[in-house]
Every structure is written in structure tokens, then in C-alpha cells.
């Protein structure tokens, strides 16, 4: 079972990807994680990617797919995997499709966790983080016992720059321009499925498992 997770930043696709991985015993593969792992281990592909990363440049799609294919060729992926964070654009999807077709493979499901922009802005801008111990809270859903203070270590909570409403809006604009077209791409291939991401996390997961059943 090969699955691609889609959805806007803050839609909760990473959480759902991990829950799928845990339930079905397949790896949750984040491109960010495999980049870091390859760089840390000093692999040939990792060193090639590091050149771009050190310059602040994007790693080319072909190299990203090479690193991805190297990862999915490992034994723990023989029953499938969940891709999180790739592809992000139509060209990336095309490169990935070509590469996995050449090894006789295919994507079984692309699952879109659909959440309206206004919900995401409220969800992300309500996050608060502890700079000392890393604990996270939400002013609506998981508030600290004492407003603005970390329950775990008593330090003052902060609103991270990437959770500020204006930053979230910018990220959503990029998503709609670059990533949302993937919904049409995978719909044409008859593997696209959409779930309502505004539901409770467990309800979203139940909707996904019903699709995968």
C-alpha cells in the first residue's frame, strides 16, 4: 500500500501519516527526514544534496526522487509506505511517477486532508510553544493551566514566527499555487481521495482507514 498525503500546511497530514504508518506497520517517510538522514550518514546522495542545502538552494527534483527511491527500496517498505511532504508540485509528481513506473511500482492512494484556510490560520496562530522545554499548547484546544505559562517547566510561552497569521497566510498562498494542482493530477489517475480535516483527529483517521480498507 503506497500512499501520498496531501493537504495544506497545518491541515494535520503529518499526524495522520504517522497514525497510518503505526496502524499498518509501514514507514512514514518525510523527505525532510530522509535528507537529514542521508547528510548525517554521509551517503553519496546526501553529500550531493548537502551542496544545494548549504547554498540555500532547493534540491533538484531528480535528486530528491533518487533519495526517495533509495529509501523506498529498503526492506521495511516492502509492504508499502506513506509519503509526507513530497511531491509538492506537478513537475515533482511527474518525476516521481516516471521513476516508480520504471521499477514496476505505482501509488495506490493520494489522500487529501481538506481544511479551509480560515480554520488553518486559527489553528496555527493559536499555537504556543515553550522555548525552554519544547512543549506545545493551543490557546483554544490545549491551553496551559496558567495563561501564557508552560505547564511543564514554568517558562513563558511564545508564538513562533512560522505560526504567525501573516506567515501562515503566505504559506497557504504558496500551497494553493504550487501544491493544490496535485489534486487534479491524482484525480486523473483515479487514486485521489479527500477527507474532511476539520473533524476530530480520530474521526479523520477513521475516514482514512475506511478508504484504505
In a domain? residue 55: yes
Given the residues 88, 122, 164, 193, the one annotated as active site: 88
Given the residues 23, 78, 152, 160, the one annotated as active site: 160
Average pLDDT, integer, range 111-135: 94
Strand partners, 127: 138
Mean pLDDT of the chain: 92
51 noted as active-site residue: no
pLDDT higher than 80, residue 56: no
193 noted as active-site residue: no
Domain count for the chain, please give it: 1
pLDDT digits over 140-152, tens only? 889 999 999 999 9
In a domain? residue 59: yes
Containing structural domain, residue 38: 2-115+173-212
In a domain? residue 44: yes
In a domain? residue 199: yes
Given the residues 2, 13, 71, 128, the one annotated as active site: 13
88 noted as active-site residue: yes
Average pLDDT, integer, range 53-73: 86
Per-residue pLDDT at 93: 94
Per-residue pLDDT at 32: 81
pLDDT cut 70: percent of the chain above it: 100
In a domain? residue 56: yes
Q: Strand 127-129 relative to strand 136-138: parallel, antiparallel, unpaired? A: antiparallel
The whole-angstrom separation of Cα 30 and Cα 149 is: 32
Average pLDDT, integer, range 36-46: 91
pLDDT digits over 8-28, tens only? 988 999 999 999 999 999 999
Q: Domain of 90: which CATH number?
A: 3.40.50.300
Are the C-beta atoms of 67 and 34 separated by less than 8 Å?
Answer: yes
The whole-angstrom separation of Cα 54 and Cα 194 is: 37
In a domain? residue 158: no
In a domain? residue 126: no
In a domain? residue 40: yes
Given the residues 2, 71, 127, 128, the one annotated as active site: 127
Measure the CA dihedral 120/180/105/210, to 10°. 50
Given the residues 50, 164, 171, 193, the one annotated as active site: 171
Per-residue pLDDT at 24: 95
Amino acid at each position: 500500500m503506497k500512499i501520498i498525503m496531501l493537504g495544506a500546511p497545518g491541515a494535520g497530514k503529518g499526524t495522520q501519516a504517522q497514525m497510518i504508518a503505526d496502524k499498518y506497520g509501514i514507514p512514514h517517510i518525510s523527505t525532510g527526514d530522509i535528507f537529514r538522514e542521508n547528510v548525517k550518514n554521509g551517503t553519496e546522495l546526501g553529500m550531493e544534496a548537502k551542496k544545494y542545502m548549504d547554498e540555500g538552494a532547493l534540491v533538484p527534483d531528480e535528486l530528491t526522487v533518487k533519495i526517495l527511491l533509495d529509501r523506498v527500496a529498503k526492506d521495511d517498505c516492502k509492504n508499502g509506505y506513506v509519503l509526507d511532504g513530497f511531491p509538492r508540485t506537478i513537475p515533482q509528481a511527474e518525476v516521481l511517477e516516471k521513476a516508480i513506473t520504471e521499477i514496476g511500482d505505482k501509488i495506490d492512494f493520494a489522500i487529501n486532508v481538506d481544511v479551509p484556510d480560515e480554520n488553518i490560520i486559527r489553528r496555527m496562530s493559536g499555537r504556543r510553544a515553550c522555548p525552554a522545554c519544547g512543549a506545545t499548547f493551543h490557546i483554544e484546544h490545549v491551553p496551559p493551566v496558567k495563561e501564557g505559562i508552560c505547564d511543564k517547566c514554568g517558562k513563558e510561552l511564545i508564538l513562533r514566527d512560522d505560526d504567525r497569521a501573516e506567515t501562515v497566510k503566505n504559506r497557504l498562498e504558496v500551497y494553493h499555487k504550487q501544491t493544490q494542482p496535485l489534486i487534479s493530477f491524482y484525480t486523473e489517475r483515479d487514486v485521489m481521495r479527500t477527507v474532511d480535516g476539520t473533524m476530530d483527529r480520530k474521526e479523520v483517521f477513521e475516514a482514512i482507514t475506511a478508504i484504505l480498507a
